[in-house]
Amino acid sequence: MFSKACEYGIRAVTYIAMQSMEGRRVSLNEIAEKIDSPTAFTAKILQQLSRNRIIGATKGAYGGYGMVRSNIDKTTLDQIVTAIDGDYIYAGCGLGLKECNADKPCPVHDKFVEIRDNLKQMLQSTSLYEMTLGLETGLTYLKR
């Protein structure tokens, strides 16, 4: 459902948020290693997230990527997905057809609309802070 860039973006932002809550900024190389993502690809994703003000980037010896606590609390998965993939996930066809709507539906249109609406609700109601909770306790993981 999500692009590979979006998958890595969600994992990267979650890792950055967790480290930021501990008062740490993290480097590109550390993020790429911790989320099992190619470094150059991760750099492009982080640039996009920084441009969309999801994360902060600081250059220099004490630089790196980070987030302020208030942003961790209020940032939702929807904002991350939209920053990377746009809103296509909420409008695209379940079978990937260029044109699919109620007037000209694909064979799974009606069922997929419900799935898409549930996904949107979940992404809009899940905060980045919630994503970090399982990581801190070891119940969830960002890398296989």
Over residues 12-63, the pLDDT tens digits come to 999 999 999 999 999 999 999 999 999 999 999 999 999 999 999 998 888 8
Cα gap 70→64, rounded to integer Å: 19
With beta carbons less than 8 A apart as the criterion, state whether 37 and 43 touch: no
Per DSSP, what are the bridge partners of residue 64?
58
Cα gap 99→32, rounded to integer Å: 37
Report the percent of the chain where pLDDT is more than 90: 68
pLDDT at position 144, please? 65
Burial class of residue 96, CB neighbours in 10 A (0-12, 13-18, 19+): exposed
Cα gap 142→144, rounded to integer Å: 7
Q: Which pTM was predicted?
A: 0.89
Burial 72-95 (b: 16+ CB within 10 A, else e): beebbbbbbbbbbbeeebeebbbe
